[in-house]
């Protein structure tokens, strides 16, 4: 929409009078990022991407070997990283994670809450209470606990950004994965609510909503039936599933100054799947 007689730099449209190029910046400098679920897949790819941009990275996961391997890859590339074992469903461990992060690096600028659990593969009435508790515990309680401890740290230093991993399964119906779908709807609710609560505090909270991505989780789910893998690729108008690097790029964008006017947003990275 054009506004006659006004310019983009006008105070009413741009109160800080920041130059337009600031909004396109993807630059990170001397900052600290936390990635949960960083032992493999999307989490590892994002941790490596943060490190390539010069950030110090804290990798958190229950998988000790995988988490240490991610840190070793960062060190081998000349980056700085620290692994901290953490069960995101346990309040004490999440609190200690953030205490150790601050003790090591003194600050937190970006948090990517990515730790998640695999989907169930059955109709709703076939699910178990244990399955429900496990999925909700990691995917919902884990995100809530992490944000519970991240937000005060970001407030104390005057701002920052949080990105949560949701899913296209959180944007609509997901037959035969109703618990997982419900958990990702909840992540979107947490994301949007926190974004509004902290919008004027310099903190942005967004989510990424991947479709099917080539991860170990995907391979475990589909390797027993190649026909399912072919169907998964066909779900996406681009004709393939996504890569972990493509999700990492989306996360970095949402953390960057290029997304300075973006909060409460759920960015679909889905090869066109939700456009159908």
How far is 153 from 218, CA to CA, in rounded Å? 34
pLDDT of residue 29: 77
What is residue 23's predicted lDDT score, i.e. its pLDDT?
A: 39
Q: Assess whether pLDDT exceeds 80 at residue 1.
A: no
How far does CA 161 lie from the centroid of its chain?
Answer: 11
User: 257-266 pLDDT, tens per residue?
Assistant: 999 999 999 9
Q: Exposed, middle or buried: residue 253 (CB in 10 Å: 0-12, 13-18, 19+)?
A: middle
Tell me, yes or no, if 180 is annotated catalytic: yes
Helix (H) or strand (E) holding 218: helix 216-222
Task: Give CA separation, 14 vs 5, 43, 188, 218, 257, in Å.
Answer: 15, 35, 29, 44, 15
Q: What tens digit of pLDDT does each residue of 20-33 get?
A: 343 344 678 789 99
User: What's the mean pLDDT in 134-142?
Assistant: 98
pTM for this predicted structure: 0.90
* Cα–Cα distance, 60 to 46 (Å, whole number): 12
Which of these, 78, 100, 82, lies nearest to 35 by C-alpha position?
A: 82
- With cut-offs at 50, 70 and 90, classify the pLDDT of residue 3: very low
Query: What is the distance, to the nearest Å, from the Cα of residue 199 to the centroid of all Cα atoms in its chain?
Result: 18
Does 62 score more than 90 pLDDT? yes
Mean pLDDT of the chain: 90
Sign, CA torsion 245/25/57/250: negative
Three-state DSSP at 41 gives: helix
Distance of CA 1 to the CA centre of its chain: 32
- Predicted confidence (pLDDT) per residue in 229-255, tens digit: 788 889 999 999 999 999 999 999 999
Residue 72's pLDDT is 98
Q: What's the whole-number mean pLDDT along residues 37-66? A: 98
What is the reported pLDDT for 160? Answer: 98
Q: How much is the pLDDT for 26?
A: 61
168-218 pLDDT, tens digit per residue, is: 999 999 999 999 999 999 999 999 999 999 999 999 999 999 999 999 878
Is residue 111 scored above 70 in pLDDT? yes
pLDDT attached to residue 11: 31
Would you state the pLDDT for residue 13? 40
CA-to-CA dists, residue 71 to 35, 109, 188, angstroms? 11, 19, 29
Give residue 218's pLDDT: 80
Q: Please check whether residue 50 is in contact with residue 57, taking contact to mean a CB–CB distance below 8 angstroms.
A: yes
Which two tokens mark 136? 């909700």
- Catalytic one among 105, 110, 149, 180? 180
Locate 217 and state its tokens: 């989780």
Task: Report the pLDDT value the prediction gives residue 223, as an integer from 0 to 100.
Answer: 73
- Which domains does the chain possess? 27-213+244-266 (3.40.50.720)
DSSP state of 72: H
Closest CA to 213 of 235, 189, 242, 238: 242
pLDDT for 119 equals 79
Q: Which residue has the tokens 């700085």?
A: 80
**Mean pLDDT score, 119-146:** 95
Looking up tokens 């979107």 gives: 188
Instruction: Check whether 89 has a pLDDT greater than 50.
Output: yes
> Is the pLDDT higher at 26 or at 122?
122
Position 121 scores a pLDDT of 85
């Amino acid at each position: 929409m054009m506004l006659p007689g006004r310019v983009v730099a006008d105070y009413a449209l741009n109160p800080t009078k920041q130059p337009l190029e600031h909004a396109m910046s993807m630059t990170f400098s001397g900052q600290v990022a936390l990635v949960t679920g960083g032992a493999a897949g999307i989490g590892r790819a994002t941790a490596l991407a943060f490190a390539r941009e010069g950030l110090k990275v804290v990798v958190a996961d229950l998988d000790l070997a995988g988490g240490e391997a991610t840190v070793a890859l960062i060190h081998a590339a000349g980056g700085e990283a620290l692994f901290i074992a953490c069960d995101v469903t346990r309040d004490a461990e999440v609190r200690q994670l953030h205490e150790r992060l601050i003790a090591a690096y003194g600050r937190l600028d970006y948090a990517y809450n990515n730790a998640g659990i695999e989907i169930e593969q059955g109709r709703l009435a076939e699910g178990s209470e244990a399955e429900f508790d496990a999925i909700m515990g990691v995917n919902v309680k884990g995100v809530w606990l992490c944000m519970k401890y991240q937000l005060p740290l970001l407030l104390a230093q005057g701002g920052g950004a949080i990105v949560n991993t949701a899913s296209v399964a959180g944007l609509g119906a997901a037959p035969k994965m109703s618990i997982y779908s419900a958990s990702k709807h909840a992540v979107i609710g947490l994301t949007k609510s926190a974004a509004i609560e902290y919008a004027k505090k310099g903190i942005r909270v967004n989510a990424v909503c991947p479709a099917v991505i080539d991860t170990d989780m995907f391979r475990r789910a589909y390797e027993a039936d190649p026909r399912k893998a072919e169907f998964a690729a066909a779900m996406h108008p681009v004709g393939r599933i996504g890569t972990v690097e493509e999700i990492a790029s989306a996360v970095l964008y949402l953390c960057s100054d290029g997304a300075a006017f973006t909060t409460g947003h759920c960015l679909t990275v889905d090869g066109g799947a939700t456009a159908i």
